[in-house]
Chain A
Amino acid sequence: MDDLALSLTGVSKTYGNFRAVNNLSFAVKRGTICGFLGPNGAGKTSTVRMILGLSEPTSGEIRVLGGASDKVLDRIGFMPEERGLYRKMTPIDVIVFLAGLKGVPAGVARRRGAEMLEAQGLGPFMNKQIRSLSKGMSQKVQLISCLVHEPELVILDEPFSGLDPVNQQGLEEVIRELARRGATVLFSTHVMQHAERLCEKVVLLAKGQKVFEGTLKEARSAAPRHLDLEGDLAESDLRTLPGIVSVIDLGEAEEGAHLWRCGLEKGRAPNEALKAAFLKGLDVRRFEAREPTLHDAFIVLTGGDARQADATPSEPMRPEHA
């Protein structure tokens, strides 16, 4: 059996003169949680749609669960960025209907759906019309609809948008559980913390091109480490320390002290700068070597586009023909 749940090779997508995705290649192993990250307009939704067979790539090849996506639709679970359910149907009927489209017999889907609704605290709302549910409840129903057929590959487009912190945490747990039972999860998000907590692998997209593919550790290593220094320190003194490339004023600290964040040159350890500071007799009262976060890596890797990250929750739909 193919070890890869998903592979894209040289995939491009153009709409008229606009190139939404440019020569994109990446692969996701089975049983992996992979974050698909990128600022607005990076081409995430276009890529997801090509993976699902909703639109054809202009060039390149996509293999999903070892074949073409239209042949394995029953084994894929998909939750779109813009949630959609039949408002006049009940949650259980919607779940049974959508599971039916994935080949699950009605009885099995009804049993599984009821269990999942109960587990999500939606048991009492099982037979109420969806239009009477809150947005958060509807999103849970949507998620259950996407998972009830026990898919091997789950694609979640911005799954955390619109959820409160408690439900976000619940969704993270659901994603981990999916991975535990062997499913592959590909999810797009703007919120780096979710990706940081969940992903073993990330693919970073900017302006339709892949700018990074690898593990979280590898992603973080793309960003410089930081050294936070607290004390009665002057910016000019800090800039003379070895390996320091940037100094940011983080504001007043306790007892007249000041907090500074010093960016380290790539590959330089903080010890060197710290040692030099002590040797110079600088008033360092507290120090902390800070590992780069995925957010830092995201900003470095996406350059100017990264400013959009976290600022806007969703990627707009783009017409097929611009």
Chain B
Amino acid sequence: MRNTFLIARREYLAFVRTVGFWLSLVTLPLLITGIILVPLLLRQTSPVQTLSVAVLDLTGEGLEGDLRSIIRAKAPPPKAEPQTDGMRKIAASIARPDIVRLVDLPTGLTPAMPRAEAEARIPALLDKTSVGASNILVAYTEAGVLHFDIWSIKSQKNSLAGSIGEELQDLNYYRRARAHGVDAKLAEDLRKAAVVNSLTHREVPSKGAGGGLGNFMGDQGPGVVGFLIGFGTWMTIFSSSMILLGGVIEEKSSKVLEVLLASTSTESLLIGKVLGVAGVLLTVGMIWSGLSLILGSYGLSLAPPGVAAGIKAAFSGLFSPLHLVLLAVYFVCGYLMYGVSFAAIGAFCETQKDAQAIMGPVMMVLMIPMLCMQAALSAPNSPIIQYLSYVPIFTPFLMPLRLLNPLPWWEIVLTLGGMLLVGGFMIMVGRKAFRQGALTGGKLTWGTLFRIATEKPSA
């Protein structure tokens, strides 16, 4: 016990006393914040795209007036109403639509000219900045069918079509109705009747409170939070296991391991190392949780009262004490399982290069739950996720995804049992492999692992 504590303390201090630790502690949250904020800021600060549109009506049906009306209708109102709701303000700033502006037809294009001639001239005209139009909407008929061509400069390709596509379809509809002698009023009524769907989309009452975000948390929260926990578990277990691996390689290459094993038991050494790194994780977790709490509280204080209440209500309903206990059990088992295994791998490696050779296949297996997690975001209880979560080496990562949705108790018992069984076996083999690796210059092979696993326990 004494030695376990001493080794854990040394391991902990070896990391915490380094400048790199504190740098990464600060830089990682900054990096994550940057990854989230930079695209938003870029979008907010980048100028809004203005689509200058000239209309060339080659149909001879006098559609120009209608087309100009459609484009004018897309132009922004003279003065947008200021957004007072904090969340709506953010949403509005993120989803800023393009500004559509109607301009005169460039010189050289006339509604009376043949289409071929117009098409020959348009590319050259769009290249000239003096023309003032970045898009030219050409309307023409071919065998009685109305067609629209949108010519755009490269940077605005598809922008206008996305903006006025529906209106052009409407225009075509009313034109066809007119051509078939349908009364304009009747045509409009038919259009409305077709658009108004008789299928009513009914939803169960939302679990959240406090409006949009609260409802979102209530409905999608378990999936998103489960994903975040699963992803966080994967990242934490993987990074801490890598820390253990690196630490053991350093000790092995500097020949300290033999001295340590001559001073204490393998169990003390291994548990001490695992606890030391766990201490580092705890420190990081506490500091980041504290910061998140402070920043989160500050953020909630700025949010409108309804939204803040909704977020609080949604989060408080997500976790029961049982959830928290189960999450902790899955995490601890996963950490021990992978931590001991990685430490054992490290004991067979003199250099990082040796470790890379062994870690290649291990990483490929570890990527499976990562890939599943993304898919699980939309379907946490899909059969693939469900069956993979029964595989004990994936359980610690995939069960947190599923845990926040209702699960039959037998699944929890099954996964916990499997994980404890396989985890226990991995820890037992890992302990022996660690000792074996620490004292030899041999390579880790499947044969070595088999011998270690099947060897009789020493007296």
Contact = CB atoms under 8 A, between A and B. Distances in A.
A311 B290 CA distance: 63
Interface stretch (A52-60, A112-120, A259-267): A52-60
Interface string B427-446: 00000000010011110000
Contacts of A88: 14
Contacts of B264: 73, 101
Interface of A: 49, 52, 54-56, 70, 73, 76, 78, 80, 82-89, 97-98, 100-103, 142, 145, 317-321
B109 interface: no
Given A76-B262, A86-B256, A101-B263, 18 more contacts: A55-B439, A73-B262, A73-B264, A78-B262, A78-B263, A80-B258, A80-B259, A82-B255, A84-B251, A84-B255, A84-B259, A85-B259, A87-B254, A88-B14, A100-B3, A101-B264, A103-B2, A317-B441
B255 A80 contact: yes
9 contacts: A54-B439, A84-B254, A86-B254, A97-B10, A100-B3, A102-B263, A142-B259, A320-B436, A320-B439
Nearest to A87: B254
A63 to B, nearest CB: 14
Between A70, A145, A319, the greatest number of chain B beta carbons within 10 A of the residue's beta carbon is seen for: A319
A124 B421 CA distance: 53
Interface in B235-286: 251, 254-265
Interface residues of B, number: 28
B28 to A, nearest CB: 23
Contacts of B442: 319-321
A52 B260 CA distance: 11
Nearest to A80: B258
A321 B448 contact: yes
Contact of A52 (B2, B6, B262, B448): B262
Contacts of A321: 436, 442, 448, 451
B155 interface: no
B459 interface: yes
B16 to A, nearest CB: 13
B5 to A, nearest CB: 9
A65 to B, nearest CB: 14
A265 to B, nearest CB: 46
A294 B228 CA distance: 71
A85 B256 contact: yes
B458 interface: yes
A82 B254 CA distance: 9
